[in-house]
Structure 1
Amino acid sequence: MPRPTTVLSGFAFTESPRWRADRLWFSDFYQDRVFSAAEDGSDVRVEADVPEQPSGLGWLPDGRLLIVSMRDARILRREPDGVLSVHADLGDRMQGYANDMVVDAVGRAWVGCFGFDLMGGEPLTPAALYRVDPDGSVTVAATDLWFPNGMVITADRALLVNETFGNRVTAFDIDESGDLVNRRVWARFGEVPTAREFAQVMPQLVVSGDGACLDAEGALWIADATGARLLRVTEGGTVTQEIRPGGNVYACALGGAQGTTLFACTAPDFFEEARRPVREASIVALPVTVPG
């Protein structure tokens, strides 16, 4: 099993790692900031302050950064001068916080949401997935997803979505207009939980897929938020590799100079009340064989 190396520490809750322009980019939920750093964790930079809590990251074709602002359900856009503007406002559509995001080559963004008040203890309800077009217009792309979370777009234009509380990865094909078609289960780890209260759902989860990234062979690395492990999964649900980095893990990204470093976001838990006052979250790096 690869041994993890801690490359970044002293954060509140790291999430949504991305490798771009020879740097690791990531959000810190509870410091309300987006950071970037060199591969070895040096040269840490604050890339954006997001008072309403940052999550998913992506880039438009012209290189402008998009950031999910969770609490007010907005997508922010960082202009070349560093100023943040509102790219899209989803606040009148979403239930619960906005969450992770993936952006395609033409600048269309798909954004998930909680679907319920997770921190407030509401019962679980299914949620929608939204598409934000380059002009900022918003469309409901899919419904009835159990906490749509980490997403990737494959080489053959399939959108894979982790359903954190659904024990599965769901796939859609992206047609030329950006609509999601041919919905199917890409990987099933168990049945959809029958319970709806959070404490009762937890024992029914086999894999609670949080963040994810894709490797060059089309396998999906999944951060199992309740299993304290990283899983490499192929279509159909076969787990080809399991790594336990030594703590709870919530997101991952492939990057580094050779593309064979798996970066993983770790923390004792994800609850805001416990995480915001302290700096116990880290990002670890693990060597893998297949690049991103």
Structure 2
Amino acid sequence: MDMVKADFQLLDERFARINGDEWMQRLHTGCRWTEGPVYFPAGRYLVFSDIPNDRTLRWDETTGQVGVFRQPSGYANGHTADRRGRLISCEQGNRRVTRTEHDGSITVIADAWNGKKFNSPNDVVEHSDGSIWFTDPSYGIDSDYEGYQAESEIGACNVYRADPDGSVTLVADDFSRPNGLAFSADESKLYIADTRQDPSHIRVFDVKGARLAGGAIFGTCDNGRFDGVRVDSKGDVWAAAHDGLHCFAPDGTLIGKLRMPEICSNFTFGGARRNELFITASSSLYTLRVTVNGARYP
């Protein structure tokens, strides 16, 4: 297990309360492009994607071992866990969002909108009402590298909501490449990264039932492009970027960074108290315990 010096960069005094382990652990390396970490506290394991290798991996906290969870994985990208402890996955290659049941079977949550296939679902979150919200950029159909090259049937990169009854609603259609997304702790706001804008930025929406309102730019990226997004228990918004994790105060001020040795794609708060960061970065998976907890949702 490799150890890497933790590098917290203070940009605003509000970030001074955030610190953690002196050293980060590199739990695994040798992948092509890691993504989509999701932690399951009941089993003490983490699932994450190695997209170009068309596989989903599983890190076991009790043994420290990493093995193949699913291959082929449909070029899975982002994942989340629903409130019943089931894995929700964005399958870029299969152009769908699925749920892995407790018995291992796979249920398709959504694979089309208005009779047209999605481009390549990218990242996903669950609302407390059971609806699944996800982004649909075109990375999985742009080439054969992390999916299957194809023309977009929808002709745009949007954000959608899938309800428990199977209906799918378009909730945002003015993005270039929507990517990571996260609800505020009270679910009144939804933060969504737009990777391909210049500069890449995060927008914030008011959640109005099944709809979104607003959409102002919340924060911009000063190093590369934003990817995964998470919210902590203090309302700070964290985003993966090329130089590490960027932390924004609730007012949109960039207050600090956790700098990383590889380009960050995504991350999650895990562990028994949601105070361990698990970070997917280029070819590797990293972790460290921090002095902040991930948001607790309804």
Q: Which residue of 2 aligns with 1:217?
A: 234
Q: CA deviation at 1:129?
A: 0.6
- Secondary structure of the residue aligned to 2:219 is strand
Does residue 80 of structure 2 align to residue 58 of structure 1? yes
Match of 1:172 among 205, 218, 234: 205
Q: Which residue of 2 aligns with 1:67?
A: 89
Q: Which residue of 1 aligns with 2:109?
A: 87
Q: Which whole-Å deviations, capped at 9, do the CAs of 1:68-91 have from their partners, x for residues lacking one?
A: 111232112222221113222127
Indicate if the aligned counterparts of 1:3 and 1:245 stay in contact, CA closer than 8 A: no
**What is the distance in 2 between the residues matched to 1:230 and 1:77?**
28
Q: Which residue of 1 aligns with 2:128?
A: 105
Q: CA deviation at 1:263?
A: 1.6
Q: Which whole-Å deviations, capped at 9, do the CAs of 1:169-207 have from their partners, x for residues lacking one?
A: 11122223x211233222245xxxxxxxxxxxxxxx755
Q: Which residue of 2 aligns with 1:17?
A: 37
Indicate if the aligned counterparts of 2:264 and 2:281 stay in contact, CA closer than 8 A: yes
Match of 1:186 among 212, 215, 218: 218
**What is the distance in 2 between the residues matched to 1:252 and 1:64?**
18
- Secondary structure of the residue aligned to 2:122 is strand
Does residue 163 of structure 2 align to residue 133 of structure 1? yes
Structure-2-length-normalised TM-score = 0.77
**What is the distance in 2 between the residues matched to 1:218 and 1:288?**
16
Residue 249 of structure 1 aligns with an amino acid whose one-letter code is C
Q: Which residue of 2 aligns with 1:163?
A: 194
- The percentage of aligned residue pairs carrying the same residue is 28
Say if 1:90 and 1:50 are closer, same or farther in 2 by CA, change over 3 A.
Answer: farther
Residue 10 of structure 1 aligns with an amino acid whose one-letter code is G
Residue 213 of structure 2 aligns with an amino acid whose one-letter code is V
Does residue 261 of structure 2 align to residue 246 of structure 1? yes
Does residue 184 of structure 2 align to residue 154 of structure 1? yes
Residue 217 of structure 2 aligns with an amino acid whose one-letter code is V
Does residue 147 of structure 2 align to residue 114 of structure 1? no
> Quick check: 88-97 or 229-238, which moved more?
88-97
Indicate if the aligned counterparts of 1:188 and 1:236 stay in contact, CA closer than 8 A: no
**What is the distance in 1 between the residues matched to 2:280 and 2:133?**
22
Long gaps (5+) in structure 1: 190-204, 268-280
Residue 255 of structure 2 aligns with an amino acid whose one-letter code is T
> Quick check: 83-92 or 42-51, which moved more?
42-51
CA RMSD of aligned residues (A): 2.7
Q: CA deviation at 1:35?
A: 2.9
Indicate if the aligned counterparts of 1:187 and 1:235 stay in contact, CA closer than 8 A: no
Q: Which residue of 1 aligns with 2:13?
A: none
Q: Which residue of 1 aligns with 2:249?
A: 234
Residue 243 of structure 2 aligns with an amino acid whose one-letter code is A
Q: Which residue of 1 aligns with 2:18?
A: none
Structure-1-length-normalised TM-score = 0.78
Q: Which residue of 2 aligns with 1:276?
A: none
Q: CA deviation at 1:6?
A: 0.3
Long gaps (5+) in structure 2: 1-6, 8-21
- Secondary structure of the residue aligned to 1:210 is coil
Match of 1:145 among 171, 175, 191: 175
Equivalent residues, number? 259
Residue 190 of structure 2 aligns with an amino acid whose one-letter code is L
**What is the distance in 2 between the residues matched to 1:210 and 1:118?**
17
**What is the distance in 1 between the residues matched to 2:133 and 2:99?**
15
- Secondary structure of the residue aligned to 1:30 is helix
> Quick check: 68-77 or 84-93, which moved more?
84-93
- Secondary structure of the residue aligned to 1:145 is coil
**What is the distance in 1 between the residues matched to 2:213 and 2:102?**
35
